[in-house]
Structure 1
Amino acid sequence: MALNKSLDVVQSEENLTPLSPRMMNTLRKNNNVFSFIRSQAEEEIDILTENLRSMELGQDKFELNDSDEISFEEGEIQEHLDPICLHDPGLQELITLLVDWIHGQLTLDRVQLNNIETDYRDGQVLRLIYEKVMGNDPIDLPCGDFVQSRERQKRNLFFIVDKINSCMKNIDDQLQSKTKLIFAGEILNTLRFLIKINNYCFRNDRPSVILPRALKVNILKIKRVEKRLQHEKRVVNILGNHFQPGARDAFDTLIENAPPQKVTMVKNVLKKFVNSYLTPIGFEVETLEEFQDGARFCALIGCLQKFFIPFYAYIQKPETFEERLKNVEFAITLLEDGGFAKPVNRAAEIARGDIKSILRIIYGLFVKYKTD
């Protein structure tokens, strides 16, 4: 990527990436816009490559929050923050930004926020955020204010989290589990909820704070199966995925700017993953670009989702662009039927062999199915 092109992106108001105060100070001090773009892009690449590496090599020892409130139901999936991340200056800055934002909006209510693990568990601060920050009519908590009983605090919390979630029109089938973890003082779920509220406020012209685009953290994803806990360690962007069609992301930077050995590592890990499913059925690939035929995507999705796709449903050996496009469109339909969000790339980009578009889909499948 050329320097002049990068500077044009930053200087354009339509494409301006929101910066946190720390990032702004770094820019002023270094007077180097390009270095900031690289740091943001490199952060996203690090998240991608570290996630691949950690899942490929296996799991490290990981300690959970020792709260008495954490318990697991059969089949329940929980995500916990690696405690070592609490020493990361970037995460500390994120917490400070969010706390200062809430403090600033609730000054007249004399709210004191001292501990992110406990400040939100009784629902009172979240109710004020719902009313004063998000701009909704006042509501009463079901068990009243200033309750001391843990069960009443939990009932209040579940009530207001559901209210906020409904206001944001956010559909989340794990909301009950995540709310339980907020009550338990699990920081990851509390931060993610506050970030969603801030993003909602930003989109709806309510008071909000500008957050960085990417911040990597280690998480432990845990599922209880037959009275045993299965787990996997991942590297994620706690700020979420804000990719928009036409915007650059980690895959753009990976292919265009990353060192060749890093690109090779990503491709090799993903190729090993897909071939573990495709080789037994005779669809092994030498390069990931072969997925442009769409047929291998159909076969891979069928293997991963454990259902048989009739051979007549797609063209096994497409010879024209139109036939490849038809296969890719069918594969995208299979993805959506399996619960995946609609890919941001157009089917035609995949059918033309665009490696960035292919990598995005395969990486999403890798993250979801690697440890199943």
Structure 2
Amino acid sequence: MTSKSMDPDFLNAFKLPFDNDQSSSEKEIISGEKRKHIQPSSQNDPKLEGLKTFLLDWINATLKEEHIVVKSIEEDIFDGLVLHHLLERLGAMKLNVQEIALSVSSQKHKLKVVVETVSRCLHLEESQLKWSVEEIYKKDLLATLHLLVAMAKHFQPDMDIPPNVSVEVLIVEPTKKGIKTEKVFEFITDNRQNLDERSAQTDVFDELFKLAPDKVKAVKQAIVHFVNKHLGNLGLTVKDVDSQFADGVILLLLIGQLEGYFLNLSDFFLTPCSDTEMLHNANLAVDLLLSGGLLDSPVNPEDIVNRDVKTTLRVLYSLFSKYKSK
């Protein structure tokens, strides 16, 4: 990783090799906007190309019945039309936006509605977003890929998205001393090597069940007390950690209470009637914990549904460790 500062007097001589509109770039930098660009060295990376092909195939397969064909991530996503149909198809929802938006203002309005709806579905705060309406509309490849990958992971969590896709990114940021540039590597999809290494590590609950099984009961009691303290205002009481979290409902309500947001009842099954509906709830809960940076090790949502006590305690402890003093 390298960084340097550039005096504003040399701004006119500063040209990004991958930006065809120098005057536009300069205006954005002068106005104080931090920008990120994929370095040319990463543009033709086979893994990046493979991810783009994978996403194109996924989009076209999803929208096949609507006779929509997408040929380019860079050129066919920016105006919100494809994202609109993709969101309605995957999320089973109806958006109040124009079907065809031709003017710049109507396209941006439509895109804004779609992107904000995606963010709500994913339960992401603005600070957690790796994309923006402006970036998507400007055909920013990095932002568009982040958005599509997030949608795929949320709506079809079992899909085998190509792992370990990263790109070298140039970050351009104005400072009081001039223009600061920094090169970093940014992952677009999960770094499976890191996940595998973390999953191979022995965590506190592996140790607890193996070396101190007599203390498991005390840990359960402490967590039950913690859960009931925060769910009391909802009229809910937990007595059995082993079974009451299997359908994901209480877990989702607990996350919402602790993280300070309301979960739309259309996003999960309040009274799940099947393993599929329970798994949907568990997947959503794990997604929320991961996006909030609360999980220190990978968790299989199916283990929650299958009442794996160690997994359930591991998930609850991730919340307990952050909010125990709240």
User: What TM-score, normalized to structure 2?
Assistant: 0.51
Alpha carbons 2:38, 2:167 under 8 Å: kept: yes
Task: Look up the equivalent residue of 2:87 and give its one-letter code.
Answer: Y
2:64, 2:192 → 1: CA distance?
A: 30
Q: State the Cα distance separating 1:182 from its structure 2 match.
A: 1.1
Which of these residues, 76, 85, 88, is aligned with residue 119 of structure 1?
Answer: 76
1:94, 1:139 → 2: CA distance?
A: 28
1:209, 1:108 → 2: CA distance?
A: 20
Which of these residues, 134, 152, 166, is aligned with residue 180 of structure 1?
Answer: 134
> Is 1:344 equivalent to 2:296 in the alignment?
yes
Q: State the Cα distance separating 1:62 from its structure 2 match.
A: 5.4
1:79, 1:56 → 2: CA distance?
A: 14
2:29, 2:117 → 1: CA distance?
A: 24
Alignment of 1:10-29 (within 5 A): none
Counterparts in 2 of 1:147 and 1:214: CA distance versus 1, 3 Å: same
Which of these residues, 123, 133, 149, is aligned with residue 195 of structure 1?
Answer: 149
Task: Look up the equivalent residue of 1:211 and give its one-letter code.
Answer: I
Counterparts in 2 of 1:194 and 1:200: CA distance versus 1, 3 Å: same
Counterparts in 2 of 1:72 and 1:127: CA distance versus 1, 3 Å: farther
Alpha carbons 1:221, 1:233 under 8 Å: kept: yes
2:77, 2:4 → 1: CA distance?
A: 37
1:198, 1:78 → 2: CA distance?
A: 25
Which of these residues, 32, 48, 53, is aligned with residue 91 of structure 1?
Answer: 48
Aligned residues: 196
Match of 1:102 in 2: 59
Q: Tell me, which stretches of 5 or more residues in structure 1 are unaligned? A: 1-53, 253-339, 346-372
SS across alignment from 2:125: coil
Task: Look up the equivalent residue of 1:248 and give its one-letter code.
Answer: E
Alignment of 1:132-281 (within 5 A): 132-133=89-90, 135-141=91-97, 144-173=98-127, 175=129, 178-203=132-157, 209-226=159-176, 228-240=178-190, 247-248=196-197
Q: State the Cα distance separating 1:116 from its structure 2 match.
A: 1.4
2:92, 2:179 → 1: CA distance?
A: 40
1:183, 1:64 → 2: CA distance?
A: 17
Q: State the Cα distance separating 1:188 from its structure 2 match.
A: 0.7
Alignment of 1:53-72 (within 5 A): 54-55=1-2, 63-66=17-20, 71-72=28-29
Alpha carbons 1:98, 1:209 under 8 Å: kept: no
2:40, 2:3 → 1: CA distance?
A: 22
Q: State the Cα distance separating 1:172 from its structure 2 match.
A: 2.5
% of aligned pairs identical? 23
Task: Look up the equivalent residue of 2:85 and give its one-letter code.
Answer: L
The superposition leaves residues 275-326 of structure 1 with CA deviations (integer Å, 9 ceiling, x where unpaired) of: xxxxxxxxxxxxxxxxxxxxxxxxxxxxxxxxxxxxxxxxxxxxxxxxxxxx
Alpha carbons 2:130, 2:146 under 8 Å: kept: no
2:76, 2:147 → 1: CA distance?
A: 13
Which of these residues, 74, 77, 86, is aligned with residue 129 of structure 1?
Answer: 86
2:168, 2:85 → 1: CA distance?
A: 31
RMSD value, Cα = 3.6
Alpha carbons 2:3, 2:180 under 8 Å: kept: no
Counterparts in 2 of 1:73 and 1:105: CA distance versus 1, 3 Å: farther
